[in-house]
Amino acid sequence: MTVRTKVPETASELLVTLSQHPDRPRLREEAIEAWLPLARHLAHRYAGRGEPTDDLVQTATIGLIKAVDKFDPARGVDFAGYAIPTIIGEIKRHFRDRTWSVRVPRRLQELRLAITEANATLTTTLGRSPTVADVAAHLGVTEEDVLEGLEGARAYNTASLSTPVSADGTTSLGDTIGGEDAEFELAETRVALGPALATLDEREQKILTLRFYGNLTQSQIADHIGISQMHVSRLLTRALTKLRGELREGL
């Protein structure tokens, strides 16, 4: 990768002598200033991806400062070769760590960036919008990985709960969100209730049905079945005790 940004020769010379020069703070500032065009150039390459350009330039500048402070000419690498990946890494971290509305695994964040870049490249080379298979082949990953990355990308931006979702604007996104449903807590009990009821005899089942589904009083049940109210009370108590025992075992 070649970045054509004109930098004064003195900037490179400053970096070579920076670590040992007695006037290091001043030379450091001069070196950063001299290489700022490189940082701005790299920042503009990532413009148009949802982040303000000024923020990207600021992030690229931070990467440049880190590169200047950590550069070691003794390693035999020229400064541009060291600074470019350092600055780009800082920009990518900015996208990865600060622009996601919902936290997703870092792997998916990095995959989203790779998919975005692949889409731009393939659209140019293919002359059409690339398919999932095209992107997967370009990145050397599976189609499932690409689909997972696209799904994770949905967490990049969020919508306000007040966003209108109806044509007349009377219904907002928040109106479509369900509330707490206490019936869910009873679902498991209802599933176990059928087998538990089956353990009761026919008269016990009938009394429970009349009492809790028919909403009859004990006196009304007694008249309906032809037994005393006291007998109905005893049978009801016995049936409920058996049901509780069965439900405890079933749950």
Instruction: Specify the pLDDT at position 2.
Output: 43
Long-range contacts of 105-111 (CB under 8 A, 24+ apart): 105/152, 108/148, 108/149, 108/152, 108/153, 109/152, 111/141, 111/145, 111/146, 111/148, 111/149, 111/152
Instruction: Specify the pLDDT at position 8.
Output: 41
Instruction: Specify the pLDDT at position 11.
Output: 54
- Averaged pLDDT in 10-residue chunks for the chain of 251 residues: 44 58 73 88 83 87 89 77 88 71 61 82 87 89 81 54 60 59 61 79 88 87 90 90 79 55
Instruction: Specify the pLDDT at position 61.
Output: 92
Secondary structure (DSSP) of 191-230: HHHHHHHTTS-HHHHHHHIIIIIS---HHHHHHHHTS-HH
Instruction: Specify the pLDDT at position 24.
Output: 67
Instruction: Specify the pLDDT at position 174.
Output: 56
Instruction: Specify the pLDDT at position 5.
Output: 44
Are the CB atoms for 118 and 153 separated by under 8 Å?
Answer: no
Instruction: Specify the pLDDT at position 246.
Output: 79
Q: Global pTM?
A: 0.39
Instruction: Specify the pLDDT at position 62.
Output: 92
Instruction: Specify the pLDDT at position 6.
Output: 44
Domains of the chain and CATH, by start? 9-98 (1.20.120.1810), 106-156 (1.10.10.10), 183-250 (1.10.10.10)
Q: Summarize the chain as % helix, strand, coil (round to 5).
A: 70, 0, 30
